[in-house]
């Protein structure tokens, strides 16, 4: 019996030793984790969360912005773009961080309590049928030789049918607003936010339109060497700014359930989530090759809210996801230094979060 207990104790000790142990360095205030449910709208959830943290950084009360109001604005804009480009453009549920900033500037914002994007009785968001309905109608329009000016109203009706009517005016905390006036009351300046990336097929320290399918609006990104892109993130988190992140989560080393995004040097190693192991040494050339071979794609957006190290001293970015409170960290995960360097497609930050020497190179 004593021998069995000794073996059990040894097994438990080995199991505990194998776990990741994180020491937090920065943990910036953010709003609670939400779920995008059965939609491809991570771009709105991540960026709305980013803006909510920005408001808290500015000393304003915590707010819960409606992600689906932003989504609705972009669906309408994307439909017009698709028709004007005669179907030679992307029309899907996806989007990017700068689309939320554009939506904020174009149509304003509303609190979640005013517009949830759900109909009475809906338990969760699901845009699959709605997307099919809109896409089918738009493709039908493209078969016509001439269009009237009525079709945008038809898209609006589909959105009303699945998401509910968007408010033209509303009362919130005893005050009357339009979406535009509410957005103005928040004090967010859309011009303060910039998107950045790091790919060597375009010159560094210039802007270019990033060639990814969801960039339907032809958003321009500042291009930087990888080390400087990462330096911006580290400086932002060290000085109280959070970061909106866009990248690839299709790797074996990404597990929302385990709360980890890692890039093992051996991608087929057993027990990769059991304890820290040697990770890939990511160079500019390696990430470029992954992007051009489609090994890295733009498939998910999240919100970086802090920085930590594991027991071996490896750096991780505390990352807020939008898949509900999964993982041991209740919807957050730890993204390793190597994963960030390899799988980041782009970031968005407040321009004041950029170190002055890098900002000068970008003429910001």
Q: Specify if 11 maps to a domain.
A: no
Q: What is the pLDDT of residue 17?
A: 41
pLDDT tens-digit series, residues 141-179: 999 889 999 999 999 999 999 999 999 999 999 999 999
Distance CA 131, CA 137 (A): 10
CATH number of the structural domain spanning residue 261: 3.90.70.10
- Cβ distance 199 to 224 under 8 Å? no
Q: Specify if 12 maps to a domain.
A: no
Q: Specify if 9 maps to a domain.
A: no
Its pTM stands at: 0.93
Q: What is the pLDDT of residue 267?
A: 86
Q: What is the pLDDT of residue 128?
A: 97
Q: Specify if 163 maps to a domain.
A: yes
Domain that holds residue 350: 20-361
Q: Specify if 10 maps to a domain.
A: no
Q: Which two tokens stand for residue 234?
A: 């580290």
Cα torsion angle, 218, 223, 227, 231, sign: negative
pLDDT tens-digit series, residues 230-275: 999 999 999 999 999 999 999 999 999 999 999 999 988 889 999 9
Q: Specify if 4 maps to a domain.
A: no
Distance CA 257, CA 334 (A): 11
Q: Specify if 331 maps to a domain.
A: yes
Structural domains of the chain, count: 1
Q: How confident is the model at residue 227 (pLDDT cuts 50, 70, 90)?
A: very high
Q: Specify if 242 maps to a domain.
A: yes
Q: How confident is the model at residue 18 (pLDDT cuts 50, 70, 90)?
A: low
Looking at 147-281, which runs of residues are DSSP E strands? 170-172, 175-177, 193-197, 207-209, 220-223, 243-247, 254-255, 260-261
pLDDT reading at 12 higher than 70? no
């Amino acid at each position: 019996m004593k021998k069995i207990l000794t073996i059990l104790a040894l097994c438990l000790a080995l199991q505990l030793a194998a776990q990741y142990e994180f020491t937090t360095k920065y943990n910036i205030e953010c709003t609670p984790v939400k779920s995008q449910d059965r939609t491809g709208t991570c771009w709105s959830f991540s960026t709305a969360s980013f803006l909510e943290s920005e408001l808290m950084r500015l000393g304003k009360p915590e707010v819960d912005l409606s992600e689906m109001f932003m989504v609705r604005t972009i669906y309408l804009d994307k439909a017009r773009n698709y028709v004007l480009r005669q179907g030679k453009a992307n029309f899907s549920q996806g989007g990017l961080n700068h689309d939320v900033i554009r939506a904020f500037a174009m149509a304003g914002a509303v609190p979640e309590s005013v517009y949830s994007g759900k109909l009475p009785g809906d338990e969760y968001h699901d845009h699959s049928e709605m997307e099919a309905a809109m896409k089918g109608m738009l493709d039908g329009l493209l078969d016509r030789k001439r269009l009237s000016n009525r079709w945008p109203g038809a898209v609006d009706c589909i959105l009303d049918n699945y998401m509910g009517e968007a408010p033209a005016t509303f009362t919130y905390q005893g005050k009357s607003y339009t979406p535009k006036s509410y957005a103005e009351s928040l004090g967010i300046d859309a011009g303060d936010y910039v998107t950045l990336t790091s790919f060597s097929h375009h010159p560094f320290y210039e802007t270019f339109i990033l060639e990814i399918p969801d960039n339907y609006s032809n958003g321009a990104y500042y291009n930087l060497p990888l080390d400087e892109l990462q330096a911006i993130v580290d400086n932002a988190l060290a000085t109280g700014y959070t970061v909106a992140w866009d990248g690839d989560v299709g790797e074996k080393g990404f597990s929302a359930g385990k709360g980890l995004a890692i890039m093992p040097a051996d991608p087929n190693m057993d027990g990769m989530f059991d304890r820290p192991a040697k990770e890939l040494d990511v160079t500019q050339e390696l990430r470029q090759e992954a992007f051009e071979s489609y090994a890295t794609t733009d498939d998910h957006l999240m919100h970086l809210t802090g920085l930590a190290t594991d027991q071996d001293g490896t750096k991780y970015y505390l990352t807020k996801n939008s898949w509900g409170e999964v993982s041991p960290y209740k919807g957050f995960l730890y993204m390793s230094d190597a994963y960030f360097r390899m799988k980041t497609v782009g970031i968005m930050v407040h321009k004041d979060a950029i170190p002055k020497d890098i900002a000068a190179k970008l003429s910001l």
